[in-house]
A = this chain, B = another copy of it.
């Protein structure tokens, strides 16, 4: 039983032991991997699960339909007392408490120290308190009159973050918005407006073909922004990276020149500070030089890497970020703020307002009795906007800059520990040999049957199947959780990311041992 996961609440999350994922309600009927094969033709076809065993589910051949049916049944009706259906009549509070308990029970403990699946993890108690207060205040960021304190808090946070990036107070602007992809979308929107302000009223019909540049290892949000904004995802040029996942500056410049000769108009380069999979930092100064030479908007996507600016030990990895025209930085990742908390910072004061304002009179009256520059709602592409700043502000009060720095250092020490462990083990292989720059560590588990095979397509084809199979078993066991993916010419590999300060070296040992335990007997077809 796979994806039904059982978290307990907060205090459980910080315990070193305990399960990350759920134990099946009806576990006894599924975990007997030695059950006889099912030969009854009527069985399983009409959602009768009494004669189906876990081995009949994926990755079993032709297990797709059964697995899908099983999940749907399980989640929609099969859970005793947990009905997702929406009633016409009210239910009593006792039932609501049961519903809440079940929701947590069948969810995933993202705060568990052995949850390594996402860049956002952990559960900061002060941050949580901030979220609870925010929900209680239940207000909206669009005008100062309904959010006086939160709007000032946002301004204080943005100024501090701009200062940390290295900008002077006069030039900086910014806004918190719903996630790093929307923050990156703002950067493209602003770049377009900077070069072609008429686009706001006239649209892109009379514009030349615009081109954006981003690296092969960058996040897909640049392409998504291009698709949404009407620039077109194929007008994003993907620049080659080196083995370590860093954009190659000469390749960038070559791409820019090529685009120009083809008649399109380069406007924007996205450099990544902390790539999603490898945790690589693009060479910002070299890229900034090229952007200056060609007059392009330089955006730095530091969604994941921004947190390193808070560590004296690691902030030099982002050297050159102060030369960016805009920066995305997600405190809900490396700073451990609860989801969601993402900022777009812009080194051109006033452009957010100019680009986005429509001056709706019902909301942004100019004859208000206060300074309406504090009505920040018209700087955004939203109208109402969730209060994402209070939790971060409260965490900053509680930890100080130094506290955040220590958190970052600890996560990166954990990554080095994992890196060293993998170097020492014969059953694991690193995807790239150099020391991690961020907390991402990428590796393969090599099952016994592949250990003596020579490198090449045959081995790769088999290795590609290993991570998904281990992950499927890992989800069934529910003791830890880690992601995998292919990337470029690398077949499926695990990516461990460390952003939860509750994680100890013992948890990292556990992860490797658990992968090895689950992986040693997996069946890889030799065709």
Where the two chains meet, the residues of A that have a C-beta atom closer than 8 Å to any C-beta of B are 2-5, 7, 9-10, 57-59, 64, 67-68, 71, 75-76, 84-91, 93, 95-96, 99-100, 102-104, 106-108, 110-111, 117-118, 120, 123, 126, 128-129, 131-133, 135-140, 144-150, 152-153, 156-157, 160, 178-182, 185, 189, 192, 199-205, 207-210, 219-221, 223-224, 226-235, 276-277, 332, 338-340, 356, 358, 360-363, 365, 367-371, 381-387, 390, 393-394, 396-403, 468, 471-472, 475, 481, 483-487, 492, 495
CA distance A38 to B484 in the complex (A): 71
Closest to A371 in B: B68
Closest 8 CB pairs of A and B: A203-B232, A230-B230, A369-B472, A131-B135, A204-B230, A178-B178, A362-B485, A181-B383
Question: In the bound complex, do residue B103 and residue A370 qualify as a contact, i.e. CB atoms below 8 Å apart?
Answer: no
Report chain B residues within 8 Å CB of A220.
358, 360, 383
Report chain B residues within 8 Å CB of A394.
96, 99-100
**Complex copy number for this chain:** 2
Question: In the bound complex, do residue A382 and residue B181 qualify as a contact, i.e. CB atoms below 8 Å apart?
Answer: yes
Contact A67/B203 with A132-B135, A382-B182 known, Cβ cut-off 8 Å:
no
Question: In the bound complex, do residue B137 and residue A103 qualify as a contact, i.e. CB atoms below 8 Å apart?
Answer: yes
Report chain B residues within 8 Å CB of A120.
138, 140, 384
Report chain B residues within 8 Å CB of A153.
84, 103
Cβ of A266 to closest chain B Cβ, rounded Å: 14
Known A96-B394, A138-B339; further 6 A-B contacts with Cβ < 8 A: A117-B145, A128-B136, A199-B232, A203-B230, A219-B383, A362-B495
Cβ of A13 to closest chain B Cβ, rounded Å: 9
Question: In the bound complex, do residue B390 and residue A96 qualify as a contact, i.e. CB atoms below 8 Å apart?
Answer: no
Contact A108/B485 with A226-B203, A233-B201 known, Cβ cut-off 8 Å:
no
Question: In the bound complex, do residue B230 and residue A185 qualify as a contact, i.e. CB atoms below 8 Å apart?
Answer: no
Cβ of A90 to closest chain B Cβ, rounded Å: 5
Cβ of A53 to closest chain B Cβ, rounded Å: 15
CA distance A190 to B376 in the complex (A): 28
Closest to A59 in B: B369
Identify which of B133, B139, B369 contacts A339 (C-beta below 8 A). Answer: B139
Report chain B residues within 8 Å CB of A371.
64, 67-68, 71
